[in-house]
Amino acid sequence: PNYAFIFLAMLFMFVCTSPMLLMMLAGVGGGWSHAMRSESFRNRPWTLAIGGVQVPLGSNMKMLIMALPTLLFLHLFMGPVLWSAALCSGGVSLAHAALRDREDVDKMDDSEDRDGDSSWSRGRVRELP
């Protein structure tokens, strides 16, 4: 959960520093809000006409039809931002793993040895003094 939070914080930071992305997300959110509040969208059935065949579309199919262009639009604009946030948060996570305090791990290993639990059963290798 901590690393997911770091990723989401980086993504939020990248989106907030780009006016174009802010306007794009506001437009997508506004479009969805307008569509969901509209009584005619929720109550009026859509029909797909192929040749002479009429196929009524339910509310789930309407959501799918609207979600696909939205996802494509978000992917085109936010794809590079998602990759940048993933790489930056991955770098922060790697730096955290490399620089974390090793005394916590040593204390945990010593307390487990006093309880009589063998570290060999879990496949751990300890450095000899």
What is the C-alpha to C-alpha distance for residues 56 and 106, in angstroms, rounded to an integer? 66
Are 20 and 106 in contact, with CB atoms under 8 Å apart? no
User: Distance (Å, rounded) from C-alpha 54 to C-alpha 103?
Assistant: 70
Token pair 């993504």 is found at 11
In the numeric block, the tokens 């496949």 are attached to: 123
Is the pTM higher than 0.85? The answer reads: no
Write down the pLDDT at residue 102: 67
Name the DSSP letter for residue 122: G
What does the pLDDT profile of the chain (129 residues) look like in tens digits? Answer: 888 898 899 889 988 898 888 998 899 899 888 888 887 777 777 777 788 888 777 777 778 888 888 888 888 888 888 889 999 999 988 888 888 766 655 555 555 555 555 544 556 667 777
Q: How many CB atoms lie within 10 A of CB 3?
A: 13
Give the separation between CA 12 and CA 65, rounded to whole angstroms.
27
- Tokens (6 digits) for 127: 């450095």
